[in-house]
């Protein structure tokens, strides 16, 4: 009876995504900036201070007038659509980060938030609690088709994945 259990465990071990142990909880601080012809976008998060929110500030590039500032998930990659109508934030942080993908309109409206920790296609490598390496690093290809509101993002294995909003 032990042989079938051992064979099953070996099969599960071979099929599982690689996961690595964490020595400590994520406590990083990140500042990101991105500019388009119309917008200046800045993101800040500091996970060493649990009371400090993760924020995104958007400013008009020509007048330097603030457009909006909102709390967002921790982001590790920023992208602005070529027409400056959408801001995309990607994250490889799992720890205290409910969403790893967020899309905002240029007025600050959240049009998409996605938790990618359990997606079947990703088969990401990552750590038990801190990391989820689901997108192509350091800079994925991102395509936005506004006619169908479809966002395509290159995953960690180089496959373009579609998200509709």
CA 55 to chain centre: 14
User: Residue written as tokens 């994520």?
Assistant: 26
Helices marked H in the chain — which ranges? 2-15
Query: Can you tell me which residue has the tokens 């049009």?
Result: 111
**Per residue in 39-98, pLDDT tens?**
999 999 997 887 777 999 999 999 999 999 999 999 999 999 999 999 999 999 887 889
pTM over 0.85: no
DSSP string spanning 56-85?
EEEEETTT--EEEEEE----SEEEE-TTSS
Predicted local distance difference test score (pLDDT) of residue 25: 60
Residue 10 — very low, low, confident or very high, per pLDDT cuts 50/70/90? Answer: very low
Query: Which CB contacts under 8 angstroms, 24+ apart, belong to 99-103?
Result: 99/73, 100/73, 100/132, 100/134, 101/153, 101/163, 102/72, 102/73, 102/75, 103/151, 103/163, 103/165
Mean pLDDT confidence for 110-138: 84
Q: How confident is the model at residue 8 (pLDDT cuts 50, 70, 90)?
A: very low
In this prediction, residue 27 has a pLDDT band, given cuts at 50, 70 and 90, of low
pLDDT given for residue 9 in this prediction: 43
Return the closest-CA partner of residue 90 out of 111, 108, 72, 69: 72
Give whole-number Cα distances, 113 to 2, 73, 141, 155, in Å. Answer: 45, 9, 19, 17
Q: Which helix (H) or strand (E) holds 32?
A: strand 29-35
């Amino acid at each position: 009876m032990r042989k079938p259990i051992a064979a099953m465990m070996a099969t599960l071990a071979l099929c599982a995504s690689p996961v690595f142990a964490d020595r400590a909880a994520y406590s990083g601080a990140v500042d990101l900036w991105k500019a388009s012809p119309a917008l200046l976008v800045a993101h800040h998060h500091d996970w060493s201070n649990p009371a400090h929110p993760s924020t995104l500030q958007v400013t008009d590039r020509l007048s330097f007038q603030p457009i909006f500032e909102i709390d967002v998930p921790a982001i590790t990659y920023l992208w602005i659509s070529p027409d400056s109508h959408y801001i995309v934030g990607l994250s490889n942080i799992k720890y205290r980060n409910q969403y790893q993908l967020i899309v905002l309109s240029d007025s600050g409206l959240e049009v998409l938030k996605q938790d990618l920790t359990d997606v079947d296609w990703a088969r990401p490598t990552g750590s038990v609690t801190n990391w989820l390496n689901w997108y192509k690093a350091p800079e994925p290809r991102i395509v936005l088709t506004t006619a169908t509101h479809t966002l395509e993002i290159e995953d960690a294995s180089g496959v373009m994945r579609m998200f509709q909003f």
